[in-house]
Structure 1
Amino acid sequence: MQDSADRTAYRPIHDRKVRWGLLAAGKIAHALAGAIQETEGGTMVRVAARDPERAREFAEQYDIPAHGTYEDLYADDEVDAVYISSTHPHHAEQALRCLDAGKHVLIEKPLALTVADTERVLDTARARGLLAMEAMWTRCMPLVQDLVGRVRGGQIGRVRSFAAAFTMPFEYVDTHRVFDLANGGGALLDIGIYPVTLAHLLVGHPTHLQVLGSQAPTGADDLAALQWMTAEGAVAQVICDSQSAGASRTVIRGSDGWIEVHGPVNAPTSFTLYRGRDADGEEIRHPQHHYRHEVEEFHRCLQEGRVESALVPHADTIAIMTILESARRELGVHYPQEDAPLTG
């Protein structure tokens, strides 16, 4: 439950639809556009993209105006909130421009390239009295909320370990965004953020972190294995790999039972709860509407005048980015946008 400090002076948007502007018009922007169309609380009013032709085609598909530049979108008084789905290195500056223009922001994961920029965006949003939220859709899924509630509620006893792997084979091309350091490439930020987020939700923050991995010829991380211990004595183990295929399996083990999560780590389909030594587990499912859940959470926050979502709190966004950046430091991955190489 959020306290009064999480409320702001902006007028809650509860008597009309939230007017969305979309910054970038790629595949993921189409996914969010569909989610906005499926909700009752929002409507798309503008789109802008680096490629004007792409913006025009997107605008025609959804029957909305297209802006010629990002600056036009920032200045548009008809836009309440902006969804930012450009590549990682651009998130922070674009979010800051939106906030300076008085707009709420939903920023695609990772919220920024570094911890420092993540903190800068969230501190600015709070100072401006505006809602800022990382678009970590997994956290907003009812299935994941139920899973977290059962684990934290002690249904498998004291949590002892968490293990998850998320692998997704991308064809190696040095200019592909997953391998391009200048474009924020790397398995950690692209896919590793999902199992790290789930581990952080279910097990907790590291007291110390161990990392193994490898780098692509471009210097971007292509394989990372993270292991950490929490203050409560649980162990988390996470693997992410942009060069291999395989089933995504997530298991949480406790002193009185265990849970197996089915489906991809970023979009689980169900989970089975095993109590004690009972071989017959209980399978739990919830309706899945993917991006719609995060859009509805964003709308709910605006309706209540929040500057922060309880499902995607600022502190967790920063904490998870800290884990990812620490792992990147161990692997020796350095982005050209950083002032100096990270050191241990």
Structure 2
Amino acid sequence: MSEPSSTAYPPITDRPVRWGLLAAGRIARAFAAAVADAEGGEVVAVAARDAGRAQEFARDLGVPRAYGGYEELYADPEVDVVYISSTHPFHADQAVAALQAGKHVVVEKPTALTVRDTERIFEAARAAGRFAMEAMWTRCLPLVQDVVGRVRDGQIGTPRSLAAAFTVPFDYDEDHRLFDLANGGGALLDIGIYPVTLAHLLLGHPTHVQVIGSTAPTGADDLVGLQWMTPEGAVAQVLCDSRSSGASRTVVRGTTGWIEVHGPVNDPESFTVYRGRESEGELVGGERRGLVHEAEEVHRCLRAGLPESPAVPHADTVAIMTILESARRELGVRYPQEEEPLHT
């Protein structure tokens, strides 16, 4: 991965990176804990639409300032970077507002509901001369980076296929965010983004995508299978399901060997490299500190004055969103926020 060229913003080299958290939910708490465990950063503010909730969050985690509105967070002169963990439909407008206020942004996956809004965030970042990144923490994990490096180095020859499944069972509830289209519901954006990201990392972008799946009574996708071929002739097969249980299993096969990735697709525990026809492979582990790796990647980029992370580049975020959007539209799943008719 090559380093993007530097931006006009002054690198943060003489003090910790100061985080402001937009939203005060479960993932924000996890990320605040990760920043506390990471090197080079601190959480200095939290904002929520409910001031009481922000104040409770701040008391629980020792955050100095709590705001009952996002505009106060954007205006805080001591906040360098805003971490956005609201629900999907609000990401784009909030990220653009933060960027226009001079903040760097890290936006929870998916960066936005649509390709258009994803591009809008990155365009705003370029216009403001600020850093922006999708919070796809899986890409920052050393174990995942090790797998990608081995495949790209040819340790299993030329990649020919990948199969990955990620299933997380939720009880059906039409009011639950995962099944609520108005709130960005659907298995693809919440769950499918992980195996699609891994397939894209290991095999590359598709020439076309084949899709099958089903939807919940609300119209949100709940079971989706994707298959695509790359220009090099490799085939990816990806499954995501928000209604079933089952172990995750990821396998990438090449002309001279194969790799099996163990554990959840979004947070692998280890992987085994098999070479030739050997039945015993090389078991490889690695450091697993969850969101800490993501926080430290952002700190590294801001110390270097980078406009984007080489681990989570803008082009890949947009490319993966095109796959997800194409698949969703093939299934006829449309968010009420989308203004135009669906086109595959």
Shorter-chain TM-score: which interval? Answer: over 0.9
Residue aligning to 1:104? 104
Range 49-58 or range 316-325, more displaced: 49-58
SS of the aligned residue for 1:206 comes to coil
For structure 1, list consecutive stretches of 5 or more residues without a partner in the other structure: none
- For residues 257-302 of structure 1, give each alpha carbon's deviation from its aligned partner in whole angstroms, at most 9, with x where no partner exists: 1100000000001000000001010000001000000100000000
Q: Secondary structure at the match of 1:66?
A: strand
Shift in Å, 1:149: 0.4
Whole-angstrom distance in 1 between the partners of 2:341 and 2:188:
17
1:253 shift after superposition: 0.6
The reply to whether residue 12 of structure 1 matches residue 11 of structure 2 is: yes
Counterpart code for 1:78 = E
Using the alignment, how far apart are the partners of 2:32 and 2:172 within structure 1?
29
Letter in 2 for 1:154: G
Q: Secondary structure at the match of 2:237?
A: strand
The CA deviation string for residues 90-122 of structure 1, in whole angstroms up to 9 with x for no partner, is 000000010000000010000011000000100
Amino acid in the other structure paired with 1:114? T
- Give distance in 2, aligned partners of 1:159 and 1:39: 35
Name the structure 1 match of 2:203: 203
Question: How far off is 1:79 after superposition?
Answer: 0.5
Distance in 1 of aligned mates of 2:5 and 2:182: 35
Deviation, structure 1 residue 2: 3.8
Question: Match for residue 31 of structure 1?
Answer: 30
Please identify, of 53-62 and 234-243, the stretch whose mean Cα deviation from structure 2 is larger. 53-62
| AA at the equivalent of 1:55 | A
Letter in 1 for 2:30: A
**Partner of 2:300 in structure 1?**
300
Matched AA of 1:140: C
1:171-210 equivalent positions in 2, closer than 5 A? 171-210=171-210
Residue 55 of structure 1 is matched in structure 2 by: 54
Q: Is the 8 A contact 2:52 2:68 kept in 1?
A: no
Aligned to 1:321: 321
Pick which of 72-81 and 196-205 moved more. 72-81
Structure 2: gaps of 5 or more residues = none
- 1:343 shift after superposition: 2.6
Give secondary structure in 1 for the equivalent of 2:211: strand
In the other structure, the counterpart of 2:256 is 256
- Contact 2:102–2:130 (CA<8 Å) still a contact in 1? yes
1:124 shift after superposition: 1.1
Alignment: residue pair count: 343
What residue number does 1:130 align with? 130
Equivalence for 1:165: 165
CA distance in 2, matches of 1:311, 1:246: 29
Farther off after superposition, 41-50 or 319-328: 41-50
> In structure 1, what residue type is equivalent to 2:58?
A
Q: Tell me the secondary structure at the aligned position of residue 151 of structure 2.
A: helix
Question: Partners in 2 of 1:182 and 1:339 — Cα distance?
Answer: 13
1:237 counterpart residue number: 237
Task: Output the amino acid matched with 1:61.
Answer: D
Give the Cα separation in 2 of the matches to 1:189 and 1:40: 30
Residue 200 of structure 1 aligns to a residue whose secondary structure is helix
* Pairing 1:220-231 to 2, within 5 Å after superposition: 220-231=220-231
Cα distance in 1 between the residues matched to 2:5 and 2:176: 39
| TM-score, length of structure 2 as denominator length | 0.98
The separation in 2 between residues aligned to 1:89 and 1:245, in whole angstroms, is 27
Contact 2:270–2:286 (8 Å) recurs in 1 = yes
List, as ranges, runs of 4+ consecutive aligned residues in structure 1 with deviation greater than 3 Å: none
The 3-state SS of whatever aligns with 1:22 is: strand
Query: Aligned letter for 2:269?
Result: T
In 1, distance between residues paired with 2:245 and 2:51? 36
Distance across 2 between alignment mates of 1:133 and 1:266 = 17
For 1:161, give the aligned amino acid: S
- Aligned residue in 1 for 2:70: 70
2:267 aligned partner: 267
User: What is the distance in 1 between the residues matched to 2:81 and 2:322?
Assistant: 27
- CA–CA separation in structure 2 for the residues paired with 1:188 and 1:103: 29
**Structure-2 separation of matches of 1:40 and 1:319:** 31
Distance (whole Å) between structure 1 residues aligned to residue 133 and residue 107 of structure 2: 6
Alpha-carbon contact 2:214-2:224 (below 8 Å) kept: yes
Partner SS state of residue 33, structure 1: helix
User: How does the TM-score come out when normalised to structure 1?
Assistant: 0.98
Matched residues in 2 for 1:29 and 1:76: separation? Answer: 18
Q: Distance in 1 between matches of 2:74 and 2:241?
A: 36
Amino acid at match of 2:138: T
